[in-house]
Chain A
Amino acid sequence: MPPRPLSPRLFRIPLPNTPRCIRHRSSSSLDPSEVQHFNQLASEWWDPHGSSRLLHLMNPLRLRFIESCLRSSPVTEPPDSPASTPEIARSRTNRRFLDVGCGGGILAESLARLPTTESVLAIDPTPGVLDIAKAHMRTDPALKRKLQYRASTIEDVLEEEMFDVVTTMEVVEHVTSPFPFLQSCLTHVRPGGWLIGSTIARHPVSYITTKLIAEDVMRIVPRGTHDWNKYVNAGELEGFFAGEREVVECRVLGCVYVPGFGWREVRGSERVGNYFFGVRKR
């Protein structure tokens, strides 16, 4: 295992959209110093040249991946749904999203702006972060009717609340137990719907790129953002979902950030770095 870089606890600044504070109810106590760091970061969240620039740049790729998953869905609506005829279902324009670990709302806002979206519920357990999200939402009159923020963990979402798509971007690598967390997310996906997320593979290459280069050398990601040991491999995710009876499909797609060119989808790179995963429910 490579040595951990020097990153004094005091100077750790978590990356936006990385609610490291997401815990299961049994261990949901929030670290006050991390809350403080989130608040420090808050003013930069929506600065396109601030520390969340990489996430802003990644966002269009997230939407493309989500769209590609939804487009590939066979048309199977719940029988009692008004959109049960294939024609209507195919042009379904009333998608309901749940964004878990929404941070400042980079993904949640853009989902809410899509004409095919009916509503977005975005949750995050850190109040300071949600304040930023809510304040930013007020700058766009188009969001008011579609986007709702809630200070909540996934476990606090009412059992009967179901969504067409549950998203969780750059969250899995920050939670203590990723698989129970994903299981909780999955319970809120309606039958035939999708759980879609992104995370980073645990590989020597990702250690060099996300820790050494991104955090220490180029400093395009705030230091101490990531804990390499918590990264989850695509194979591990696929293995986990293969064991879930209600999952019919699991796909992954790697993406690579090239300074000067931006994010690019690269097949196979899910083994060594950032990747998206999409899981369809039976």
Chain B
Amino acid sequence: MPPNHLLRLTALRRLNSTSLRLSQRSYATTPFPEQDIYDVVIVGGGPAGLSLASALRSSSVTNKLKVALIEGQDLGPQKPYKPKPGTFSNRVSSLTPGSVRFLENIGAWKHIQEERVQDYHGMKVWDGVSNAKIIFSSDLLPTAPTIAYMCENLNLVSSLLSRLDELGSTEILDKARVEGIEYGQDDGELDLTSWPVVTVSSGRKLAARLLVGADGANSPVRTFAGIETRGWDYGRHGVVATLRIEDVEQRKQAYQRFLPTGPVALLPLPGDFATMVWSTTPQYAAKLKSLSPTDFAAMANAAFRLSHVDLKYILENMTSGLAEEVSWRESATPRDPALTPTHIVDVQAGSVASFPLKMRHADSYISERIALIGDAAHSVHPLAGQGLNQGIGDVQSLVRTLEHAVQHGQDVGSLLSLEPYYSEQYLKNHMLMGVVDKLHMLYGTTSPPVVAVRSLGLSAVNALDGLKSFIMGRAAGR
């Protein structure tokens, strides 16, 4: 359905609920306290919500807006990010140069612990069945030597919190669960029947001219707005781990191999650290998580080296001695040395975890006095490393939209003010998610004709530097 129709449907739904409310309306006896009326209330203190708060406070156009941010967790300990030396969190995101530029512009990047961020300059992607490959090297791009930056989520969150501290006057309510959202009342003087009122666990109520759901995949704000999401579960889990590698490359690169069970990626972190995302079946994921550190490291090496048939055999049949098994099979498996990453030697204790992979897209990102950003609006397969970047893209677009509304005297919560955000981001995200989703399906098969065609496609793209530069430019957020 074209976005316009979706918008209309949402508007109709809203109108219906409005008329319902009107008929039941009764005047509230006490006026709503003025100090609890906000222009923007953001639910969710993750990277998307915090970026939005920082961006609104940093813009000379929107910095007069009264903003509150609600987060269930305690943000205090996250403010100075002090990880144990020699460790890296397993929750790492790939930030495109476009996203980093935005974080610089809103004054957050200067607070990042840059020694914990790793940029990379090349990307090797290959087909685990046919070995057809595509090598992206940033040498192809004259202006941007970096494809992306690997950054721990905690590092980013901490830098955004520091930025908000520096800017002041954003009210952050942490350790505050959202207990409920309902529409306000009409006290005869002020009519808040179209304003969402959020009740937090302390019992305090905040009325929002615009309520922003940055509250993740199970967004309560989205539920309140009655916006449906569509999509499917991949029946796959993403296994993540922080790893130590043998040889450190001069110019760091990312490696991604498409296996029939899902892609496995090795992404560089500072020094001899790396992070891995292996999307695989829930059974294999459970098996991987149960392995000893030695066997896990062996399987991580195997994922980039052994045939998918070997991997299947080991994961389904062996309970111990996996390291030895991998070692001899590796010596017997021919491989392209240009593609294979250096050996993984160790796995950081407690860093192996897994999460189910989903594809979800909300029917709309907006409704009267509601906007959704980040995972509340869309969840994407991690294979392209675009999840957080999409969220930052949402923030950029929403801030532009709100700036326009403020400059033209519009109510920043009105559907009319929010429309540009929806029309700008929906299609963009939809296309990206579609491509990522098709990639997942395309590589989820071992059927010879499909493998032949997809390999031909990959090799053809690999031969065309112009096209590769274009794809890299897109991936880098240009």
CA distance A49 to B416 in the complex (A): 9
Contact mask B409-423 → A, CB, 8 Å, 1/0?
111001110010000
Hey, which chain A residues are within 8 Å of B410, CB to CB? 59-60, 110, 113
Say yes or no: A110-B64 contact (C-beta < 8 A), given A47-B15, A138-B190, A139-B194.
no
Number of B interface residues at 8 Å Cβ cutoff, please give it. 26
Pair A49/B8 contact, Cβ less than 8 Å:
yes
Say yes or no: A114-B416 contact (C-beta < 8 A), given A47-B15, A138-B189, A141-B34.
no
Write the chain B residue with the least CB distance to A111.
B409
Q: Does A160 contact B (CB under 8 A)?
A: no
Pair B190/A141 contact, Cβ less than 8 Å:
yes
How distant is A61 from chain B, measured CB to nearest CB, in Å?
9
CA distance A113 to B39 in the complex (A): 13
Hey, which chain B residues are within 8 Å of A57, CB to CB? 416
Pair A48/B11 contact, Cβ less than 8 Å:
yes
Hey, which chain A residues are within 8 Å of B194, CB to CB? 139
* Neighbour of A113 across the interface among B11, B193, B409, B415, CB < 8 A: B409
Write the chain A residue with the least CB distance to B11.
A49
Pair A48/B408 contact, Cβ less than 8 Å:
no
Write the chain B residue with the least CB distance to A138.
B191
* Neighbour of A109 across the interface among B8, B189, B209, B411, CB < 8 A: B411
Residue from B190, B408, B409 having most chain A Cβ neighbours under 10 A = B409
Hey, which chain B residues are within 8 Å of A49, CB to CB? 7-8, 11
How distant is B475 from chain A, measured CB to nearest CB, in Å?
30
How distant is B37 from chain A, measured CB to nearest CB, in Å?
6
CA distance A109 to B419 in the complex (A): 19
* Neighbour of A135 across the interface among B64, B191, B414, CB < 8 A: B191
CA distance A110 to B406 in the complex (A): 9
How distant is A106 from chain B, measured CB to nearest CB, in Å?
10
Q: Does A63 contact B (CB under 8 A)?
A: yes
Chain B 250-301 interface residues, beta-carbon cutoff 8 Å to A:
none
Write the chain B residue with the least CB distance to A117.
B409
Q: Does A64 contact B (CB under 8 A)?
A: yes
> How many pairs of residues, A versus B, come closer than 8 Å at their CB atoms?
50
Say yes or no: A140-B408 contact (C-beta < 8 A), given A49-B8, A56-B416, A115-B64.
no
Pair A48/B190 contact, Cβ less than 8 Å:
no
Q: Does B217 contact A (CB under 8 A)?
A: no
How distant is A46 from chain B, measured CB to nearest CB, in Å?
8
Q: Does B121 contact A (CB under 8 A)?
A: no
Q: Does A100 contact B (CB under 8 A)?
A: no
Chain A 220-253 interface residues, beta-carbon cutoff 8 Å to B:
none
* Neighbour of A112 across the interface among B11, B191, B409, CB < 8 A: B409
Contact mask B187-212 → A, CB, 8 Å, 1/0?
00111111100000000000001000
Say yes or no: A110-B408 contact (C-beta < 8 A), given A47-B15, A48-B416, A49-B8.
yes
Hey, which chain B residues are within 8 Å of A111, CB to CB? 409
CA distance A49 to B10 in the complex (A): 11
Write the chain B residue with the least CB distance to A135.
B191
Q: Does B343 contact A (CB under 8 A)?
A: no
CA distance A140 to B416 in the complex (A): 15
Pair B408/A60 contact, Cβ less than 8 Å:
yes
Contact mask B1-25 → A, CB, 8 Å, 1/0?
0000001100100010000000000
Pair A140/B37 contact, Cβ less than 8 Å:
no
CA distance A267 to B164 in the complex (A): 44
CA distance A114 to B411 in the complex (A): 11
CA distance A109 to B411 in the complex (A): 9
Contact mask B387-423 → A, CB, 8 Å, 1/0?
0000000000000000010011111001110010000
Write the chain B residue with the least CB distance to A47.
B15
Hey, which chain B residues are within 8 Å of A144, CB to CB? 190
Pair B416/A139 contact, Cβ less than 8 Å:
no
Chain B 356-397 interface residues, beta-carbon cutoff 8 Å to A:
none
CA distance A85 to B115 in the complex (A): 53
CA distance A244 to B7 in the complex (A): 48
A residues in contact (CB < 8 Å) with B: 47-49, 56-57, 59-60, 63-64, 109-115, 135, 138-141, 144
Not counting A60-B410, A139-B190, a sample of 13 additional A-B residue pairs whose C-beta atoms are within 8 angstroms of each other reads: A48-B419, A49-B11, A109-B409, A110-B410, A113-B410, A113-B411, A139-B191, A139-B192, A139-B193, A139-B195, A141-B34, A141-B190, A144-B190
CB<8 Å pairs between A and B, sample of 8:
A48-B415, A48-B416, A48-B419, A49-B7, A113-B409, A135-B191, A140-B411, A141-B34
| Nearest 7 pairs of A and B residues by beta carbon | A110-B409, A113-B409, A60-B408, A138-B191, A48-B416, A48-B415, A114-B409
